[in-house]
A and B are shown apart, each in its own frame.
Chain A
Amino acid sequence: SQKIEQNSEALNIQEGKTATLTCNYTNYSPAYLQWYRQDPGRGPVFLLLIRENEKEKRKERLKVTFDTTLKQSLFHITASQPADSATYLCALDIRSNYQLIWGAGTKLIIKP
């Protein structure tokens, strides 16, 4: 069956450390993988997109890796801050039916 898995447990990280979130998928061949941030009661906000032929993408303190062999993406936030606390969602673009396929998200808590 097709599925996307993100850490279901909340991730608690000390301020200043690097937070690493995972997104694993099975039985998909995504052309793109996207990461979004969602705050409580708000809509998701786009952060980064990585293509299937890219290994790594960076934006300021954010870094995303994409391993199509392992079927996994890692999302890193370096020098984490309490303001980074949110739920982070990964989404697969499989170039079919105009849909993104979403993970359930991982709640990240950065403690001061």
Chain B
Amino acid sequence: DTGVSQDPRHKITKRGQNVTFRCDPISEHNRLYWYRQTLGQGPEFLTYFQNEAQLEKSRLLSDRFSAERPKGSFSTLEIQRTEQGDSAMYLCASSPARQNTGELFFGEGSRLTVL
């Protein structure tokens, strides 16, 4: 399967700990997105990369959140000093280009539970 891969699928952590999620996009896709989704809500945009450049970051994202895509391939999303309000599904998506369909290809998500 050459779809978007996310790891880990589930993470339980204690408040105050740091967590890191990894996303491997579809190999030929140069655009990569991180979204957060809570129960009963649609995905909420966090950040966007085109190749290795982080071109957009949500104003809702606090300084505790950081994302990287060092070689324009896989990406990591780190949350420092986690809070209970960070509990959510973190979704990664990729796309080849904006000119065509604009369709996003999502991974299965990483579910974070902060105790």
Is this pair of chains taken from one and the same complex?
yes
Q: List chain A positions with a Cβ less than 8 A from chain B.
A: 4, 32, 34, 41-46, 49, 89, 91, 93, 97-100, 102-105
User: What number of B residues sit within 8 Å (CB to CB) of A?
Assistant: 25
Give every chain A residue within 8 A of B21 (Cβ-Cβ): none
Number of residue pairs across A and B with beta carbons under 8 Å? 57
B56 touches A99 (CB 8 A): yes
Binary per-residue interface labels of chain B (90-115) against chain A in the complex, 1 for a CB within 8 Å, 0 otherwise = 01010000100111111111010000
For B92, give the chain A residue with the smallest CB separation.
A43
Q: List chain B positions with a Cβ less than 8 A from chain A.
A: 4, 31, 33, 40-45, 48, 55-56, 91, 93, 98, 101-109, 111
A104 touches B102 (CB 8 A): no
- Whole-angstrom CA separation of A41 from B108 in the bound complex: 7
Minimum CB–CB distance from A5 to chain B (whole Å) comes to 11
- Whole-angstrom CA separation of A98 from B94 in the bound complex: 12
A93 touches B102 (CB 8 A): yes
- Whole-angstrom CA separation of A97 from B59 in the bound complex: 12
Minimum CB–CB distance from B33 to chain A (whole Å) comes to 8
Known: A43-B91, A93-B102. A105 touches B42 (CB 8 A): yes
A104 touches B42 (CB 8 A): yes
- Whole-angstrom CA separation of A48 from B41 in the bound complex: 20
- Whole-angstrom CA separation of A88 from B33 in the bound complex: 20
A–B pairs, 20, beta carbons within 8 Å? A41-B109, A43-B91, A43-B106, A43-B108, A44-B91, A44-B104, A46-B101, A49-B101, A89-B42, A89-B43, A93-B102, A98-B31, A99-B56, A100-B45, A100-B104, A102-B43, A102-B44, A103-B42, A104-B40, A105-B42
